[in-house]
Amino acid sequence: MPSSTSLLCTSLLLAPAVAQDAAAPLDLGVRRELFVDRAVIETLDGVRMELAQPRDEGRVFSFDRPWEGPFCGYATVIADGDRILLYYRGLPKAGGDGSDLERTCVALSEDGRRFRRPELTQFDVPGAASNNVVMAGAAPVSHNFSPFLDGNVAADSPHRFKALGGNERSGLIAYTSPDGLVWTRLQDAPVLTGAEFDSQNVAFWSESERQYLCYLRTWTGEGYAGLRTVSRATSKDFVSWTAPVEMTFTDGLGAQEHLYTNQTHPYMRAPHLYVAIAARFMPGRQVLSAADAERLGVNPRYFRDCSDAVLMTSRGATRYDRTFRGAFLRPGVGLQNWVSRSNYPALNVVRTGPSEMSFYVNQNYAQPSAELRRYSLRLDGFASLRAGFEGGRATTRPLRFGGDRLLLNFASSAAGSVRVAICDAAGEELEGFGQGDCVPLIGNEIERGVTWRREDGPSGDVSALRGRTVRLRFALVDADLYAMRFAPAR
């Protein structure tokens, strides 16, 4: 039977962050917090919030089979044990949404660096004895089929995987699968109606909110002359859903840009935090000339717009945080990257190494060279608190924690450092936990414990402060701070 301490830590970890009163101390429990917004931080002095720069790791998959082609899109990447699954729409020719040419395809990887096609025979493809098609003849579902691994069911459930697909005419139709390869329609009737749905509509089980969430395509303004926006619906059973409610933004600016796909998902190491690497579409912002498009082989319908990717986050309810208004991923060098519907991120971020995570991006859309590329980031490293050599400080809101030691994800220069003071609610350093008592953290580590000097040697034990309202004050010199958590004792 679990101890009372472990049960307390579990309940604190699962406590919905969105349910907490903004005026009350932030109850962290033992969950990890990433510095992607100002949810934890109250003041910055000489410290800025810095957006990460993803590293281009190159092509991981080419959409070069006859049943795939230049118009493959709406990709999803799912980590499932020792395999990573890649789902995408196969579409060799341009046409109206929901055509019978659209198929749902899958590829597999062991490490996330290269994907291969399994040899399946569920569906016939002309000229191919085997293929990687897992859904065909189900228009319009394959237009934007978007699966997820359901954390709310048992590992041996026939419904481990769930998915939604469809458009404004059909509504969103639900499917389930035991293995991610063989899919069955859940019921005849759609589970969600009343919105446009003309994009990738992403769903998942929220561990913190204890319900299913769907972030879906809507339009704001006069019909299709308005803006592509995101709305949210919720469900307790994946069948009965609330009416979609449009997402708002913490910056108060509202919908000002076309968000073509939102790709909202719970971050794997902090599931109360939903990360959205969204495609920002700029209609009519033309870079290529007609001659450029012809030379590259771009379909004539798809070179008069361009797009990039932006980072948004949410901690529940109908609110996105847009701490960073600039691009998270800019289009790459070369005109082939500046066409319509290119640079669209796949759904989900997956771990691809001890200190690395990756996301994937559809590029070279509407061209013979259509492909999926991988971009890597430091684990937890979407953004950071950063100070230069002159140094600076960041102070948290009042908070309570449930662990016994403070762990940081940080990087410093050889001359830099990170120090931490634990203060009372008024900001006064607590005896023995002051900045001067802290042993400087120097290095580059995903998780290292903070210690303070004691007569018998450095100690990281903060259990005496567990449950007390405190503030943390970080002193940074030529350093980045990516994430923190209060962990139980080993």
Please name the fold of domain 4-51+383-487: Jelly Rolls (2.60.120)
What distance lies between CA 438 and its chain's CA centroid? 34
**Could you tell me if 438 and 452 are in contact, meaning their C-beta atoms sit under 8 angstroms apart?**
yes
CATH 2.115.10.20 in the chain is located at 55-377
Strands 470-487 and 405-424: antiparallel
Cα dist from 325 to 227, 255, 410, 454, whole Å: 17, 12, 24, 44
**Mean pLDDT for back-to-back runs of 10 residues, the chain (490 residues):** 35 42 85 97 98 98 96 97 97 88 97 97 92 96 98 95 97 98 98 95 97 96 84 98 95 79 98 98 96 96 96 96 95 96 97 98 96 98 98 98 97 98 97 97 98 95 97 98 94
The tokens for 268 are 């794997």
CATH 2.60.120.260 in the chain is located at 4-51+383-487
pLDDT at 21: 55
pLDDT at 253: 64
| Neighbouring-strand partners of residue 411 | 444, 480
What is the CATH number that goes with domain 55-377? 2.115.10.20
pLDDT at 375: 98
Q: Whose structure tokens read 């196969």?
A: 90
pLDDT at 127: 85
Strand ranges (DSSP E) for 262-404?
Answer: 264-267, 270-282, 306-314, 319-320, 344-345, 350-353, 356-363, 371-378, 383-387, 392-396, 399-400
Residue 226 three-state SS? coil
**Could you tell me if 402 and 30 are in contact, meaning their C-beta atoms sit under 8 angstroms apart?**
yes
pLDDT at 160: 97
pLDDT at 254: 61
